Amino acid sequence: MPKRPSDHPAGQRATPSRMPAPASGLPSPDQPTPLLGGLTPTQFMRRYWQKKPFLIRQAVPGIASPVTRDELFKLAGNDDVESRLVTHFRRRWKLDHGPFDTTALPRTAQRDWTLLVQGVDLHDDRARALLNRFRFVPDARLDDLMISYATDGGGVGPHFDSYDVFLLQVHGKRHWRIGAQRDLSLREDLPLKVLAHFEPEEEWILEPGDMLYLPPHIAHDGIAIGECMTCSVGFRAPSASELAAQFLYYLAERGGAHRGQDALYSDPKQPAVSEPAQLPAALVERVGAILTKIRWNQADVSGFLGAWLSEPKSNVVFEPPTRPLNEAAFVNRASHDGVRLHRKTVLLYDIHSYFLNGEENSLPSSKKWLLDLANCRALSAKRFVTLSHDSSVTALLHEWYCAGWIELGGLA
């Protein structure tokens, strides 16, 4: 039987905070929140983040799905949206990749199927607003909001993720079983990453508003009870090999790998050979010496991370305004409406530079406005008016507006 909330410390009920929300709209690290069961983000990160699961009853009371079932089905039909269909008909697993025509999806009355749509926050402001609630974790780690729709009995099989995840129930009910097992071997006969030996230790039924946090490698299996929808907030967790490969590419692309020693390879003492297919020992030695001269510093690492982590995914396309305002008209409108980052835009910064959708630039001398825009993802009309006298700022923001990276209006 599913455990009652009182049976486990993870099942404590949320205690609504009486403290007002921060004026910036950002989660305050030291403000208790129902989202985290009455804990502050600081307490949650210290006690649970990457340590142990946490069940929060009514993390978001009264929540409805950011998008309806039909809107999700429509999104799954777009070429620039990553979607998957998992079916378990007649005890046989099948995985298909989108886009999916709505008429090609199974009937909603049919049991045992699930539609998963990645990056809904890139296409819907309501989904982006929900994702913003989790910005007590750095943007550099926050990945996307996936929404899964399942009919009765639907699921993707017992599995584990290599990253942290928040599983927020937004419609219907789902039965979750979890276990901190060591055997993470997978079945080799299936198209899905399904655990060969799932050993659940705890289980609960989640209703709308309930949320389950799982650190990496916690095995879990969620089965829909009737029709249900679940929001999954995932985080980036690149492997060491991926980081190394991307960083070396970054250095080479910017000339950092050789630090001005970009002479062509030469071998004036190479003798004639009788075995041309064999790698010359001198070549191996020479290239080894070149590689040992590769150097980097903290600024290189920070610059790499900012550019790489802000780079839009391959399926992200920005759409400039159909009839963009000229700079004067843009300034006038922004002075009344404010500006906000487009939901697809990623803006990060370090002590020297800012990184906008993969592009690195030095921080301007008057940088506070840019840091506020990055952290709050918006500048109010009142704040914009104080900046409007600086032509370099308005020209830059107008350029971003014309590129589709920011838009007029307040926070989503």
* DSSP codes joined into one string, 304-339: HHHHHHHSPPTT------SSPPPHHHHHHHHHHH-E
The predicted pLDDT at position 292 comes to 87
Give the residue carrying structure tokens 């990060």.
348
Distance CA 84, CA 390 (A): 48
Q: Report, as ranges of residue numbers, the positions in the chain whose pLDDT lies below 70.
A: 1-25, 256-262, 411-412
Distance CA 212, CA 208 (A): 12
Distance CA 278, CA 275 (A): 6
Contact 363, 372 (CB under 8 A): no
The predicted pLDDT at position 11 comes to 39
The predicted pLDDT at position 258 comes to 54
Q: Taking the mean position of all CA atoms in its chain, how far away is CA 97?
A: 20
Which of 207, 235, 223 is closest to 145 using CA atoms?
A: 235
The predicted pLDDT at position 360 comes to 96
Distance CA 13, CA 5 (A): 7
Q: Tokens for 256, please give them.
A: 């950092």
The predicted pLDDT at position 137 comes to 96
Say yes or no: domain 5-235 is CATH 3.30.1370.60. Answer: no
Contact 230, 167 (CB under 8 A): yes
Contact 359, 350 (CB under 8 A): no
Distance CA 231, CA 116 (A): 10
| This prediction's pTM | 0.88
DSSP state, residue 105: S
Give me the numbers of helices (H) and strands (E) for the chain, helices first please.
10, 15
The CATH 2.60.120.650 portion of the chain extends over 5-235
Give the residue carrying structure tokens 């008209």.
329
The predicted pLDDT at position 411 comes to 56
The predicted pLDDT at position 118 comes to 97
Q: Which fold has domain 327-408?
A: Malonyl-Coenzyme A Acyl Carrier Protein; domain 2 (3.40.366)
Distance CA 387, CA 389 (A): 6
The CATH 3.40.366.30 portion of the chain extends over 327-408
Find all residues with CB under 8 Å of 123, minimum gap 6, and list them. Answer: 75, 78, 81, 343
Phi then psi dihedrals of residue 195, to 5 deg: -65, 140
Distance CA 244, CA 141 (A): 17
Q: Tokens for 410, please give them.
A: 């307040």
Distance CA 306, CA 5 (A): 41
User: What is the number of residues in the chain?
Assistant: 412
The predicted pLDDT at position 254 comes to 80
Which of 313, 73, 59 is closest to 167 using CA atoms?
A: 59
DSSP state, residue 159: B
Contact 131, 144 (CB under 8 A): yes
